[in-house]
Chains A and B, each alone.
Chain A
Amino acid sequence: DVKVTQSSRYLVKRTGEKVFLECVQDMDHENMFWYRQDPGLGLRLIYFSYDVKMKEKGDIPEGYSVSREKKERFSLILESASTNQTSMYLCASKAGAGEQETQYFGPGTRLLVL
């Protein structure tokens, strides 16, 4: 079974803090993703990575950056947290081309920015 883990289930941070959310997958997947999920807005893609050190912006990258130094690990960074970044953050991974075209999600990190 694919396993995607996220470093924290719940986080409380203050406005202006730098926040790191970490995600690890154990299936040697090429692709990894960060989404945020908000009521009424659904899942929105922040960034994705298709290889180590490679990244592409999703639909809402503003205020976020990412890092992928190792294939299994994908980090989301909030450089200066703001209250409008309070959300559920979901990491996902997906195999490479020619394999199953579907994503597997982690358990999510619920972030509250005060």
Chain B
Amino acid sequence: QKEVEQDPGPLSVPEGAIVSLNCTYSNSAFQYFMWYRQYSRKGPELLMYTYSSGNKEDGRFTAQVDKSSKYISLFIRDSQPSDSATYLCAMSLYNFNKFYFGSGTKLNVKP
């Protein structure tokens, strides 16, 4: 079983839709949770970073962590064509130089 599972998509939505991207994980010790956005042929760009459970909002993006269910989500409100990219979830332990990445979900927002 992989440490982190993420639906690869592709996910196709119309402009303005609310997008929900999700990852599940198996290691209950994970404490730090990240979402990265990666445009085609570019490096991953950090979008959201959360510690432990709860919600974090940044503009149109909301990250949720449910440690009891071992489930994290990224919501994108009012999605734009410029949001079309692959979204990677990642998680880690404290002061531990190994990060566990999902395989990425490819999102296409149609104008």
Contact = CB atoms under 8 A, between A and B. Distances in A.
Interface of A: 4, 31, 33, 40, 42-43, 45, 48, 50, 56, 88, 90, 94, 97-98, 100-108, 110
Contact of A90 (B44, B46, B49, B102): B44
Interface in B10-31: 31
Contacts of B49: 100, 102
Contact of A105 (B31, B36, B41, B97): B36
A108 B97 contact: no
Contacts of A106: 43
A42 B101 contact: yes
A108 B43 contact: yes
Identify which of B43, B49, B94, B99 gathers the most chain A CB atoms within 10 Å of its CB: B43
B48 to A, nearest CB: 10
B95 interface: yes
Given A43-B88, A101-B32, A56 B42 contact: no
The binding surface of chain A is classed by DSSP as: strand
Contact of A31 (B42, B51, B97, B101): B97
B108 to A, nearest CB: 17
A43 B102 CA distance: 8
B95 A101 contact: yes
